[in-house]
Structure 1
Amino acid sequence: MKRGGQVIYSGPLGRNSHKIIEYFEAIPGVPKIKDKYNPAAWMLEVCSVAAEVRLQTDFAKYYESSARYERNKALVGELSKPAPGTNDLYFPTQYSQPTWGQFKACLWKQWWTYWRSPDYNLVRFFFTLVTALLLGSIFWRIGQRRGSATSLRIVIGAMYAAVMFVGVNNCATVQPLVAIERTVFYRERAAGMYSALPYALAQVLVEIPYVITQAVYYSVIVYAMMNFQWTAAKFFWFYFISLFSFLYFTYYGMMTVSLSPNHQVAAIFAATFYSVFNLFSGFFIPRPRIPKWWVWYYWICPLQWTVYGLIVTQYGDLESYITVPGQSDQKIKNYVKDYYGYNTDFMPVVAVVLVGFAVFFAFMFALCIKKLNFQQR
């Protein structure tokens, strides 16, 4: 074939390429091959664009007018007709493996891909460790400093910032990896290896062990250095909220890639909502102070549920008093309820919603991988 995909010869090569040599040497003006010259190199030289210009010959048109072309055309027509008594090829399923088999193969592939991607996993683990140590040292033993409303807001801000930093980093670092894997997925799906849903489910599940590990040492470091109240229930809630916050941020990053043609666009798309998440998180502007026509977004903001859970589980049951500027001293649990609008009895709903956001973003990732195709060719 020459440039443009036009065929200039199709047929047997022959021993020592003598048939293709005879074909090109028969074209007027084409020089004979030298003795012991490489036939492949000679063929590329004689059929180049410069050779066509020099000979004023279009090799593609020459081939179409040759007897070789007519024989090939007749052979294609002959082979296109099935022999009498034969049946068309039939496969009972589109893929060679059932859905479960496809999922296991994809999960095995993704597991080794992640294991062999230290530039992704080690970076996010290192960032989480540094963030935990940094915030723990900045807010050293601040968990017990709750004598005033201002001190309490600083403590709450420390918890909020810790989860936010790691969550955004998870979202940003997962995007390039998912974009690369999606390119591989396009090729392997076209080859009929597996469908979209087993691939997407495997990509979602393979993240869980890494995020669990990340949340474990993050929670231990931050909880200990900030010196929150050491009870099993409070620590479990802190770990649970951190885990699913990291998960939904990770799946949010994956979802943005599935909605975008590349990870650069996905990064811009994801960053667009970071400031909105912050604004409606309930930390900077508590729910009672949000205008009624905007409070609907407060309830669908995932970061709000993280802040809700962190505040309520750590301070929603404390009976000690704090000083509130311009008001009489209040119990911490009453201040949390009045100022932030948080209720301790609402925690089961908070837990379900946090899990729901992770599931929702993962589901949207799978759906978009299945329905959207950003292949360029």
Structure 2
Amino acid sequence: HVLPGFRQAAGVGEAAATTPVTRFPWNEPFASSSLNLLKACTKRSATVLLKDMTLVRGLLMQRLMQSVIVGTIFWQTNKDALKIPMLFLLTSLMSMSNMYVVDNTVTRRSIFYKHRDSGFYPTWIYVLAESLAEFPLQVLEVMIVSLICFFFVGFYRSTFVVFLFALLLISLAFTSVFKAIAANVRAASGAQGLAISFAAFSMCFSGYIITHDHIPGYFVWIYWLVPTPWILRVLTVNEFSSPGPDGRYDQLVPQPGSSPKRLGSVYLQSFAIQDEEYWVAAGFIYLAVLILVCQFLYALGLQHRRLDYERPVMVMARKSRGMKRGEAKLDPRMQAMFVSTSASQVTDRALQLLASVSPQPPSVTIALKQLSYTVEVAAP
């Protein structure tokens, strides 16, 4: 709000280019380089995250318990067809478990508004720094889930790297989706409802509850739009396109009226899942694009929307009539006086004007809890 007034003050007079006002920091949008801002903002985001150890411990315990329960249910199963329901269950848990992001984002966005409107850092720095600070915790969560579920169930060992990377992208994708929702919805309850609806909607069109072949034609586009079908396709194709334990996925199964098929392909086709190996790479590309798009929408919402927040207003100490709140304009009489004076006097006048610009602090309410007092009674 004040920056246009500063520039106007610096531009008054014939020798405006020589005035020291043009060398002051307010002519630059931010006081430091992007790299320094990114380092400082990442450190701050990591500090905020680590201060909430209740959340960190809760997430790790949640992942541990979920993994042990799912892995125990499907412990070293010999029925390979059950691995597809297990992967669907794991995908659903990984998506729904990130719902806490909505509340955190809604809580933190008012703090971001104050920092951004005060010129602490650009929005993209905040979004990138937050992602970098949260990434190690997400990797740790995914490692816990992957190591337990993969070896408890008994997947083919050569597929572990893709399995691990796919679960990491699941976590990043749904985190990005939930952040984008929270940055653009006013109330936390509304954001929670929309996020839950998206996750449930994605599971319904995953291709497991209703297979791709049985989805009505006018709804089949949703199957290709939501992330869960892509995630499930990556995990299942990664497993069943491999030779499998003892090479049994490569065994040929006779088909009536057609050539024999691999057992792994038969499992996939029983759920109408495409069995070509290139779907793994296609799924990774889709998830990467989804993450980037949702992070962009998240940054866009933070940059242009102010939900349940009043911008800090910078005003002049003396306002003329008709001036709207938040404007910082030069007094017309003072401006006319500046034009008629010399360049050296312009500098002094401009500095005086800038000194008159001051922030209007917000109102503060102090609440006292557990207030008590004592009374001394004189002895009779």
| TM-score, L = length of structure 2 | 0.69
Q: Which residue of 1 aligns with 2:319?
A: none
Deviation at 1:338, TM superposition (A): 3.5
Contact 2:102 2:192 in 1 (8 A): yes
Q: Which residue of 1 aligns with 2:340?
A: none
CA distance in 2, matches of 1:140, 1:304: 24
Q: Which residue of 1 aligns with 2:104?
A: 177
Contact 1:99 1:198 in 2 (8 A): yes
Matched, 1:333 2:257: no
Matched, 1:163 2:163: no
Deviation at 1:104, TM superposition (A): 1.8
Of residues 308, 329, 333 in structure 2, which corresponds to 1:375?
308
Deviation at 1:203, TM superposition (A): 1.4
CA distance in 1, matches of 2:79, 2:191: 40
Matched, 1:357 2:285: no
Q: Which residue of 2 aligns with 1:118?
A: 53
CA displacement, residues 43-80 of structure 1 (integer Å, 9 cap, x when unaligned): xxxxxxxxxxxxxxxxxxxxxxxxxxxxxxxxxxxxxx
Deviation at 1:337, TM superposition (A): 5.2
- What secondary structure, in the 3-state scheme, does the structure 2 residue paired with 1:258 have? helix
Counterpart of 1:278 in structure 2: which amino acid?
A: M
Unaligned runs of 5+ in 2: 1-11, 243-248, 311-380
Contact 2:176 2:291 in 1 (8 A): yes
Q: Which residue of 2 aligns with 1:293?
A: 218
Matched, 1:107 2:42: yes
CA distance in 1, matches of 2:254, 2:195: 39
Q: Which residue of 1 aligns with 2:187?
A: 262
What is the aligned residue count?
284
Deviation at 1:347, TM superposition (A): 1.9
Deviation at 1:263, TM superposition (A): 2.6
| TM-score, L = length of structure 1 | 0.69
Counterpart of 2:144 in structure 1: which amino acid?
A: Y
CA distance in 1, matches of 2:259, 2:216: 26
Q: Which residue of 1 aligns with 2:197?
A: 272
Q: Which residue of 2 aligns with 1:98?
A: 33
Deviation at 1:198, TM superposition (A): 0.9
- What secondary structure, in the 3-state scheme, does the structure 2 residue paired with 1:294 have? helix
Unaligned runs of 5+ in 1: 1-81, 147-151
Label 1:341 to 1:256 Cα distance change in 2 as closer, same or farther (>3 A): same
Deviation at 1:336, TM superposition (A): 4.3
Q: How does 1:142-221 map to 2 (within 5 A)?
A: 142=77, 144-146=78-80, 152=81, 154-170=82-98, 172-221=99-148
CA distance in 1, matches of 2:278, 2:205: 22
Q: Which residue of 2 aligns with 1:319?
A: 250
Label 1:190 to 1:168 Cα distance change in 2 as closer, same or farther (>3 A): same
Contact 1:128 1:218 in 2 (8 A): yes
- What secondary structure, in the 3-state scheme, does the structure 1 residue paired with 2:47 have? helix
- What secondary structure, in the 3-state scheme, does the structure 2 residue paired with 1:284 have? coil
CA displacement, residues 354-377 of structure 1 (integer Å, 9 cap, x when unaligned): 222222222221121112111333
Deviation at 1:156, TM superposition (A): 0.7
CA distance in 1, matches of 2:63, 2:253: 33
CA distance in 1, matches of 2:57, 2:76: 28
CA distance in 2, matches of 1:217, 1:121: 14
- What secondary structure, in the 3-state scheme, does the structure 1 residue paired with 2:218 have? coil
Q: Which residue of 2 aligns with 1:134?
A: 69
In angstroms, what is the RMSD of aligned CA positions? 2.7
Q: What percentage of aligned pairs have identical amino acids?
A: 19
Contact 1:204 1:251 in 2 (8 A): no
Q: Which residue of 1 aligns with 2:375?
A: none
Which gives a bigger RCO, structure 1 or 2 (Cα 8 Å, sep 6+)? 2
Deviation at 1:121, TM superposition (A): 1.8
- What secondary structure, in the 3-state scheme, does the structure 1 residue paired with 2:157 have? coil
Report the structure number with the largest CA radius of gyration: 1
